[in-house]
């Protein structure tokens, strides 16, 4: 058994403001994922870009940056992000007021020809990266967390959590604000038929509408 507990904790500065954390995460060696990534992709709130303690009602948590996010240094700016934007608009949620981040801050991938194919982060990597997510939660203090996909949902709600069974329902977990989990837009993009894609998109939009109405209640 390995006795050293690898984690991001020791890379997190005392001065916890968003700009300071965003700089510091670039130096993180809390797990091996920094080695093959272009940069770390931290969370952001477009309308509070330079705020030290940006407040947002919703924190949306994805899995990890993808190819485009890794290049651009911003979360959800590639194909999945475009789909998310459309679904948010349909659910009448202003993305610029949502703090958007990921469970793991570096892109994990493997080469396939010239492409860099997304690889699911391991539990070890998810745990190692947790202190960054905890620091973001502490600063943003959202009223609701929206988990996109199983990696985010299971990392907060436990490995037995099933999106297929419990999506769109408000969950309570010790030490967290209320959590609602839904489908990951990347999973929708991988759907095999148009019919599946339409159905899954409607599920995501429906769940986002529930998030919006929870915040109004």
- For ligand URA, the binding residues (CB under 6 A) are 62-66, 69, 75-76, 78, 80-81, 102, 186
The rounded distance, in Å, linking the Cα atoms of 128 and 123 is 8
Residue 205's SS3 state is helix
Closer residue to ligand SF4, CB minimum distance, 25 or 57? 25
Can you state the percent helix, strand and coil of the chain, rounding each to 5? 45, 15, 40
Q: Which of 172, 135, 138 is nearest to 156 (CA)?
A: 172
- Least distance between ligand SF4 and beta carbon 178 (Å): 25
Spatial neighbors of 33 by CB under 8 A, at least 6 apart, are: 104, 106, 107, 108, 121, 125
| Residue 30 contacts which entry, ligand URA, ligand SF4, none (Cβ below 5-8 A, type-dependent) | ligand SF4
Residues listed for the chain: 217
Element (H, E) at 189: helix 185-189
Q: Which of 95, 105, 116, 167 binds ligand SF4 (CB under 6 A)?
A: 105
| Residue 105 contacts which entry, ligand SF4, ligand URA, none (Cβ below 5-8 A, type-dependent) | ligand SF4
Size of the site for ligand SF4 (CB under 6 A): 16
Residues 128 and 32 sit within 8 Å (Cβ to Cβ): no
Instruction: Give the strands of the sheet with 98-102, arranged side by side.
Output: 98-102, 58-62, 144-148, 179-182, 170-171
Q: Which of 18, 30, 78, 153 binds ligand SF4 (CB under 6 A)?
A: 30
Q: Does 62 bind ligand SF4 (CB under 6 A)?
A: no
Q: Does 21 bind ligand SF4 (CB under 6 A)?
A: no
- Least distance between ligand SF4 and beta carbon 206 (Å): 32
Closer residue to ligand URA, CB minimum distance, 16 or 71? 71
Q: Does 28 bind ligand SF4 (CB under 6 A)?
A: yes
Contact residues: ligand SF4, CB under 6 A? 8, 25, 28-31, 33-34, 40, 104-106, 125, 128-129, 132
């Amino acid at each position: 058994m390995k006795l050293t507990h690898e984690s991001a904790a020791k890379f997190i500065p005392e001065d916890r403001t968003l700009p300071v954390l965003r700089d510091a995460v670039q130096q993180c060696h809390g797990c091996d994922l920094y080695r093959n990534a272009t940069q770390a992709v931290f969370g952001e709130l477009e309308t509070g870009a330079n705020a030290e303690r940006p407040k947002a009602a919703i924190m949306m948590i994805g899995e990890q940056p993808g190819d485009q996010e890794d290049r651009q240094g911003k979360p959800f700016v590639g194909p999945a992000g475009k789909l998310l934007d459309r679904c948010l608009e349909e659910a009448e949620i202003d993305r610029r007021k949502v703090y958007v981040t990921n469970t793991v801050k570096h892109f994990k991938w493997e080469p396939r020809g010239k492409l860099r194919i997304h690889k699911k982060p391991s539990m070890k990597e998810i745990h190692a990266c947790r202190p960054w997510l905890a620091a973001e939660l502490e600063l943003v203090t959202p009223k609701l967390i929206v988990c996109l996909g199983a990696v985010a949902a299971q990392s907060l709600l436990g490995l037995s959590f099933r999106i297929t069974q419990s999506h769109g329902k408000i969950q309570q977990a010790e030490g967290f604000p209320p959590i609602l989990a839904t489908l990951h837009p990347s999973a929708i993009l991988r759907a095999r038929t148009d019919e599946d894609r339409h159905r899954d998109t409607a599920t995501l939009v429906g769940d986002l509408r529930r998030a919006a109405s929870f915040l109004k209640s």
